[in-house]
Amino acid sequence: MKKSHDPSTWNEEDWKNYNKPSQEWNAIEWANVYRLYNATQQWESDESLEFEDFKLKVQRKKKFADLHRIKPGMDKPDYNPWRTADDYDTLQTSTCEFINNNGNVYTFTKQEDDSVNWLGDFNKCVLDNPEVYKKAYQQYCMDTTSKLESPMHIEDFMTEIHRLEFDKNRNATAPTQLNLKYSSLVYSNPSFIQKVTPPGGPSIAKHDNLGELLGCEALSRLCVNGFELINGGFKILTYGAYDHLADRNTIGGLTV
């Protein structure tokens, strides 16, 4: 479906969705129609209806319903009501440069899907991969239940397996028995990168706010969701810093 809001550019599928009765809308479409309504109300400084009240009004008031229909792009979970029609058609990528402590220059280019291409010198770059505790915890649970005992919760297990024994002077002396028995079953997941650190920086990890970390306005409100290797560097997958607020306050708890 085209992203343009200009009806003259719509195709047959766009018009079909535009004319679809609200009784046939799915959860994503309802959420996005409401997102656009809510964004318009905020822009005009008007008070917004709660989601359920909005939904009832669309279903019962024809004139109101005619103002709030499915526009192109509203069938996608990543629909952004704050982009104008022109933004969708002529959206340009934004690039920031970062000079690290070693004098190396890195570029961060925002893509149309809000991912960021991070290019530069990654020689001797350090990658952090998450530790996987599944096998260790499964074995621990089997051993514990075989003794007719209750295993601890996995989060407690993850903490306990790294704990060291201390003497009376609070000096670390030795690993715990839990560590000795199960730590060898904990391993790193090489297929998932949660932190990238080139020599001299910047060190970027999952959930970091790119705009704040890099001092780059073009990347403001984008947080790291993960990394993918690309030619010359990494693609940083992102999510919006305030997405969780939009889910709670904007669409009234609707799960999409």
9-21 pLDDT, tens digit each: 778 888 888 899 9
Residues 137 and 154 sit within 8 Å (Cβ to Cβ): yes
Mean pLDDT along residues 217-227: 88
The candidate with the shortest Cα–Cα distance to 154, out of 192, 189, 182, 193, is 182
* Rounded-to-integer distance, Cα 173 and Cα 184, Å: 19
Q: Which of 60-74, 160-174, 177-191, 239-253 has the highest mean pLDDT?
A: 60-74
Mean pLDDT value of segment 37-54 = 77
**pLDDT tens-digit readout, 223-253:** 999 999 988 899 999 998 876 554 444 444 4
